[in-house]
Structure 1
Amino acid sequence: MKLFLILGAANAAVAVMLGAFGAHGLEGKLSERMLEVYKTGVQYHMYHAIGLLAVGLLTGKITGSGQLHWAGWLMFIGIILFSGSLYALSTTGISKLGIITPFGGVAFIAGWVLLIVAAAKGL
């Protein structure tokens, strides 16, 4: 599905931009701990952008797989919830935003599990 290739590539580009911003624009403005939180958001953002690319590439190989479709959406939702909450937490200092992060982590895990299921069934 072209959509997941586009989402993957766009999110990879955004992860690179946010990583560069963190390294050059936030250094000295955030505490060392909050900079590490921000970097974790960027790291997982990029991992799952690559996961979205994998879903997009596998879509042509695994037909009729609802699991693969949901794997892509869960990875995308995970990026928003996990990485997004870490970006917001680290730059605003609002600690209550950390309550959102585990939901993104669960979405990431569920996405990878569904990718495994889709691959096992369809390859």
Structure 2
Amino acid sequence: MDKRFLFPAAVSGFLAVAMGAFGAHALKPLLSEHGVDIYKTAVNYHMWHSLLLALIALLPPHKLLNLVAILLIVGIVLFSGSLYLLAIFEIHWLGMITPFGGLAFLSAWGLLIWISKPGKP
């Protein structure tokens, strides 16, 4: 187990729940339907990747798992963070940042596939 990533996973999961509740109760009446959809996407990806980060923290240490965890954190900040800001403040150029977060997520998942593929020592 690598506890270095358990704390950021717990904080991230907490924030995902808080952002979801904030969106459902405080923001929903203020956002357009499109804004609500964007916000829900941010919360959804935020929570799933927080859970994966927690799982990574519970696995036996592996040097490449550290990179997976870092990519997940970067992905959460860039992908979900940019979508939260886009939905709330309607700053449309933030949409250009979102794909970089998606690439971080894809890189993390791809690296996890590489680490866990059958037949690897």
Paired position in structure 1 for 2:18? 17
Q: Gaps (5+ residues) in structure 1?
A: none
**Deviation string for 1:57-106 (max 9, x for gaps)?**
11x2xx4x322110000000000000000000001111100000000000
Code of the residue aligned with 1:32 in structure 2: it is E
How many residues are matched?
A: 118
SS where residue 29 of structure 2 aligns? coil
SS where residue 28 of structure 1 aligns? coil
Contact 1:41 1:82 in 2 (8 A): yes
Q: Gaps (5+ residues) in structure 2?
A: none
Percentage of identical aligned residues: 47
Paired position in structure 1 for 2:104? 107
Could you state the TM-score of these two structures normalised by the residue count of structure 1? Answer: 0.91
Select 1:96's aligned residue among 75, 93, 96: 93
Contact 1:38 1:87 in 2 (8 A): yes
Partner Cα separation in structure 1 for residue 85 and residue 28 of structure 2: 16
Contact 1:85 1:100 in 2 (8 A): yes
Code of the residue aligned with 1:24 in structure 2: it is H
Contact 1:8 1:49 in 2 (8 A): yes
Partner Cα separation in structure 2 for residue 81 and residue 56 of structure 1: 21
Code of the residue aligned with 1:111 in structure 2: it is A
Equivalent residues in 2 for 1:15-94 (5 A)?
15-58=16-59, 60=60, 63=61, 65-94=62-91
Contact 1:5 1:52 in 2 (8 A): yes
Partner Cα separation in structure 2 for residue 119 and residue 55 of structure 1: 12
Paired position in structure 2 for 1:118? 115
Structure 1 segments (4+ residues) deviating >3 Å: none
Code of the residue aligned with 2:8 in structure 1: it is L
Code of the residue aligned with 1:46 in structure 2: it is M
